[in-house]
């Protein structure tokens, strides 16, 4: 988690580019419950999932596995791979414990099932401060789905202002439901 905070800051500051046009997946109707998505394959082939075609995307070329999608109104969805060579976070429980150090109201680590395999889910809310660190700009709701893999786990994170998080949660849930790590 500590690794993603600097990455998120860099990604927000960096200029974003439009996602390359991958082969379209079967698109769902344009309703909130079934957002239209297209197929995305991580450049090294480590995972695949369906993503919103009109969101901006930025891939972290250094790690090769981290990507962030930027949606409307301060919404982002990131996909990160853990552990890395220098990381302390080795499993979903470590990820949850690290988050617990940073936030007060963290949900329990809930065991769920995705694509017939075990996964975990957690969420919390935290204030986003102005650059001077004093004024609260808004409260962000963050939901993470942690998907174990043979070499660690993937963290899919949805970040959005609390008041509007429900609007893009169907996109996040569809991305998580379509996520397939290389097995």
Q: Which domains does the chain have, with CATH numbers?
A: 4-13+35-181 (3.40.1000.10)
| Residues 17 and 57: beta-carbon distance below 8 Å | yes
Strands annotated E in 19-131: 38-41, 47-51, 56-59, 67-70, 76-82, 110-114, 117-129
- How far is it, in rounded angstroms, from Cα 152 to Cα 146? 10
Condensed to tens digits (0 to 9), the pLDDT of residues 123-160 reads 999 889 998 878 999 999 999 999 998 878 999 999 99
| Residues 171 and 152: beta-carbon distance below 8 Å | no
Give me the torsion for CA of 162, 87, 46, 169, rounded to 10°: -10
Condensed to tens digits (0 to 9), the pLDDT of residues 62-72 reads 665 689 999 99
pLDDT at 3 over 50: no
- How far is it, in rounded angstroms, from Cα 101 to Cα 89? 13
Measured in degrees and rounded to the nearest 5, phi and psi for residue 95 equal: -60, -50
pTM, two decimals, is 0.77
């Amino acid at each position: 988690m500590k690794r993603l905070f600097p990455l998120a800051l860099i990604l927000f500051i960096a200029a974003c580019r439009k996602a390359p046009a991958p082969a379209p997946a079967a698109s769902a109707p344009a309703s909130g419950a079934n957002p239209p998505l297209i197929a995305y394959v991580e450049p090294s082939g480590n995972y695949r999932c369906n993503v919103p075609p009109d969101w901006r995307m930025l891939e972290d070329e250094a790690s090769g596995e981290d990507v962030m999608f930027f949606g409307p109104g301060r919404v982002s969805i990131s996909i990160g791979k853990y552990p890395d060579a220098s990381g302390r976070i080795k499993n979903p429980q470590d990820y949850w414990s690290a988050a617990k150090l940073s936030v007060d109201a963290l949900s329990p680590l809930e065991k769920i099932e995705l694509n017939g395999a075990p996964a975990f889910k957690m969420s919390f809310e935290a204030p986003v401060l102005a650059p001077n660190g004093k004024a609260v700009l808004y409260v962000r709701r963050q939901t993470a789905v942690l998907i174990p893999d043979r070499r660690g786990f993937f963290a899919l994170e949805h970040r959005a202002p609390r008041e509007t998080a429900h609007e893009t949660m169907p996109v996040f849930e569809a991305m998580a439901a379509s996520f397939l790590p290389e097995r």
